[in-house]
Structure 1
C-alpha cells in the first residue's frame, strides 16, 4: 500500500546482511483478507528494504476479486511481501506477507511451510473475510495472534466480542494495531513470540 513494488536488487547492501550476533531465525507469516494492511505492516516494521510483489489492479479483476476499498487502492500483492526484523541480538524474524485476493490463496500453503507462527490482520468493517483465513491456519496447526488494524471508520466491537465472533480459544491473543506504525507492528510480533513461548512451555 505505502511501499513500491518489485524493486530491482543488484546485490546485498550492508543493512541487508544478517547481524553476526544472530543465533536463531524464525519464519512468521502475516495473513488476512484483501486490503487489511499486510503489505503496510511488513514494510513498516522491516529493518531492511521490504520486497513486495504488488501489481496494478485492472478491470480484469472486476467481479473476480474482492473490490472493497478499490476506490483508493490501486495495487495488490500477487505473490508475497518479505521483510526482516531483529527482535533481539540473537533472534531474527523473517516476515512473509500473503496475498489477500482469494484467487492467490493457493500460494498460502507454500508460504505457511516452515512457519513457526502467524499474525492474522483483520479489518472490523469486513470481519467475515477473516473466517477462512483463521480456518486455514487452524487446519495446518500454525499458532497465531490476531491484530485488529485500526482504520478510522472501523467499528470498535471490543476484544471479547471479537473473540466470540471469530470463535477463538481464550488463550489466543487479540490486540489493536496500527499497521503503519513500526512500534505498533513490533508489539504485535513480540506478542506472537511470547505466545509461542507459552505454548512451548505448556508442552514440556
Structure 2
C-alpha cells in the first residue's frame, strides 16, 4: 500500500477543513492541540483520506499557515506530493498572510504547490488577475474554487497533480 500526502495550508477560516471534508468521507483531527512553543498559539491538525485505487491512498492534511507552525511544514515537507495554499477571498485581511506564506514555502522547499482562492467564481480570467495581484510567479498555478463543492475541490487537486507532473518531467529532462 502506497500513501501520498498533500498539505492543505492557509490562514484560519480559509476553508481547509471544508476542502478536506468535501473530498473525503471523514475528517479526522489530532486528539490534542499542537502548541507553537512560547507563542501561546495552538492548533488542531485535520486530515482525510481518499482511496485512489487498491494500492494508493491520498492523505489530505490541513495545517495552519501561521509562521509559528513552520516546524510542522518542515516536518511534513518530505514525502509530499505538494501543497494547496488556501485563501478565503471573503477575508481580505488574509492577503498579506497568504503572500508571506507563499514566500516562506518557496524558501523552504521546491515541492509543487497551487494557490486556491476559496469562495470566488471567475475561472481563468479571475485567477490570472489574482496571480498578478499576489505577485505569484508565472510558473505557479492559481485556481478559484468553492471548497464546499466536491467537483470544484477536485479541480484544485487535479491542478496540483498537473504542476507535480510538469515538475517531475522538468527534473528528468
- Is contact 2:4-2:57 (8 Å) kept? yes
* RMSD after superposition: 2.8
1:29 corresponds to 2:3:
no
1:18-59 deviations in Å (ceiling 9; x for gaps) = xxxx6x431110011111011111112113x21124999xxx
Aligned residues: 159
Where do 5+ consecutive residues of structure 2 fail to align?
Answer: 34-39
Q: Report 1:67-86 matches (<5 A).
A: 78-86=43-51
Q: Hey, what's the Cα distance between the residues in 2 that align with 1:92 and 1:129?
A: 31
1:70 is matched with which residue?
none
Structure exhibiting the larger radius of gyration computed from Cα positions? 1
User: TM-score, normalised on structure 1?
Assistant: 0.67
Indicate the structure with greater helix content: 2
Q: Hey, what's the Cα distance between the residues in 2 that align with 1:147 and 1:40?
A: 13
> 1:119: how far off?
0.5
Which ranges of 4 or more aligned residues in structure 1 deviate by more than 6 Å? Answer: none
1:108 corresponds to 2:86:
no
Q: Hey, what's the Cα distance between the residues in 2 that align with 1:189 and 1:151?
A: 17
Q: Report 1:11-160 matches (<5 A).
A: 24-47=2-25, 49-53=26-30, 78-87=43-52, 91-124=56-89, 125=92, 126-139=94-107, 140-150=109-119, 158-160=126-128
- Is contact 2:120-2:144 (8 Å) kept? no
Structure 1 pair 89/201, CA: closer, same or farther in 2 (3 Å)?
Answer: farther
1:174 is matched with which residue?
142
Indicate the structure with greater strand content: 2
